[in-house]
Amino acid sequence: MVHPYMRQSHHAQQGMQSAEEISQKTVELLERLHAIVIGPGLGRDSLMQDTAAKIIEAAKARNMPMVVDADGLFLVQNRPSIIKDYVKAILTPNKAEFARLCKAMDVDPQGDETDVCAKLARAFGGVTIIQKGPKDYISNGKQTFVCDLEGGLKRSGGQGDTLTGSLGTFLAWTRAYRERTWNHDNSLSDSELISLSAFGAAAVTRYCSRVAYEKKGRALQASDLSVEVGNAFKYLFETENPKL
C-alpha cells in the first residue's frame, strides 16, 4: 500500500510545507510498524532528505530497528550524528558508499576489510555495517562476520534491494521475538538479533543472486532475485545441513 506523503522541494505547496509538516503523516504510521527502511527511491532533494531525517528521529524515539540504504546513506554521510550510537540501525553501503562514510567519520578505508568495517562501526558508536562486495563484511564494532556464500557472477543495479527488503523483514521479526509471538527461551540479546538479521539477509541475497544467475546468465535483472527469496529462505533456514 502506497501512502504518497513525501514531497520534493518543487512539489511542496509553494514552499509553504516544511519537513516537519510533511513528515508528520509518515510518523503517525510508525506505531503500526515493526521496522523501517530508509533510502531506496528517496533521492537527494533537500526537502526529501530533511523529511527522512525527521522520520529517522521519530523512529529512534520509538526504539525501532531500521535499515539505511541508498540515498539514506547520503543523508548519513552528510549528517552522521543522525544515526551515531543508534545500535538498532544497519547501514548497507557498497564500495563507493563505504568509502564516503569512512571519509565522513575520519576512518582510513585502506587495509584489511574486516578491520576497516569494524573501525567504521565503532566510529558510528556500534551501528551495524554491512559492507557489500565479493564478500559481505558485517560488523557492529565488537563482532565481525564474513558472509562468503557463493553469489552470482553479475551485479545488476537494484540487487541491493533484495538485501534491504530481507533485512527489513528479519528486523521486524526481532520485535516479534521480543514480544514472544512464538514460544522460545528469549536467550538472544538485542545485538545478537541484529547480527543474525544482517547475516541472514546477506545469505538470502547471495543465494538469490547465484540461483538467478544460473537461470538467467548475463540477462539477469535485479527483479530476478525477488522470485528466489522464498526458495532461499527454505533452503538456508528450513533444510537440515544445506550444502553452501
CATH of the domain at 179: 3.40.1190.20
User: Is 84 one of the annotated binding-site residues?
Assistant: no
The more confidently predicted of residues 15 and 37 is: 37
Q: How far apart are CA 235 and CA 73, in angstroms?
A: 31
Q: Is 72 annotated as a binding residue?
A: no
Residue 10 has pLDDT above 90, yes or no: no
Does 134 belong to an annotated binding site?
yes
152 carries a ligand binding annotation:
yes
Domain count, the chain: 1
pLDDT value for 141: 97
**Per the domain annotation, does 167 fall within a domain?**
yes
Residue 94's pLDDT is: 96
43 assigned binding-site residue: no
Q: Is 217 annotated as a binding residue?
A: no
**pTM exceeding 0.85:** yes
What phi and psi, each to the nearest 5 degrees, are found at residue 130?
A: -110, 105
CA 7 to chain centre: 23
140 pLDDT higher than 80: yes
The answer on whether 168 is annotated among ligand-binding residues is: no
Domain annotation covers residue 173: yes
Q: How many CA atoms lie within 13 A of 225 on its CB side?
A: 27
- Whole-number Å distance between alpha carbons of 2 and 30: 14
185 is a domain residue: yes
Query: Is 206 among the domain residues?
Result: yes
The span from the CA of 60 to the CA of 129, in Å, is 17
Q: What is the pLDDT of residue 83?
A: 97
Average pLDDT over residues 163-171: 97
156 is in an annotated binding site: yes
pLDDT of residue 112: 96
Judge whether 94 is annotated as a binding position: yes
Neighbour order of strands in the sheet with 89-91: 36-38, 66-68, 89-91, 128-131, 136-139, 144-147
C-alpha cell at 89: 540501525
Return the residue matching grid coordinates 541472514.
Answer: 200
- Check the annotation: does 98 bind a ligand: yes
Structure confidence at residue 222 as a pLDDT band (50, 70, 90): very high
Site of grid cell 527488503: 165
97 is in an annotated binding site: yes
**pLDDT (average), residues 18-41:** 94
pLDDT value for 11: 78
Which single residue is written with the C-alpha cell 553501503? 93
User: Look-up: residue for cell 565481525?
Assistant: 144
Q: What is the mean pLDDT of residues 156-179?
A: 94
User: Is a pLDDT exceeding 70 seen at residue 60?
Assistant: yes
At residue 15, the pLDDT reads: 60
Q: In the chain, what percentage of residues exceed pLDDT 70? A: 97
With respect to residue 4, please indicate whether it lies within any of the assigned structural domains.
no
Which residue range is the domain that position 51 belongs to? 18-238
Whether 153 has a binding-site annotation, put simply, is yes
Q: Is residue 139 part of a domain?
A: yes
Give yes or no for residue 38 having a pLDDT over 80. Answer: yes
132, 92 Cβ separation under 8 angstroms: yes
Is residue 161's pLDDT more than 80?
Answer: yes
Considering only CA atoms, give the Rg of the chain.
18
Q: How many residues does the chain have?
A: 244
Grid coordinates belonging to 3: 501512502
Domain assignment present for residue 162? The answer is yes
- Ligand-binding annotation for 54, yes or no, is no
Specify the higher pLDDT residue, 17 or 167: 167
Residue 125 annotated as binding site: no
- Least confident range from 22-31, 113-122, 198-207: namely 22-31
Q: Which pLDDT does position 14 carry in this prediction?
A: 59
Is position 131 within any domain?
Answer: yes
The verdict on whether residue 135 carries a ligand-binding annotation is yes
State how far the Cα of 67 lies from the Cα of 219, in Å rounded to an integer: 29
Provide the pLDDT for residue 16.
61
Average pLDDT over residues 108-135: 97
Q: What percent of the chain has pLDDT over 90?
A: 88
Contact by Cβ (8 Å): 85, 79: no
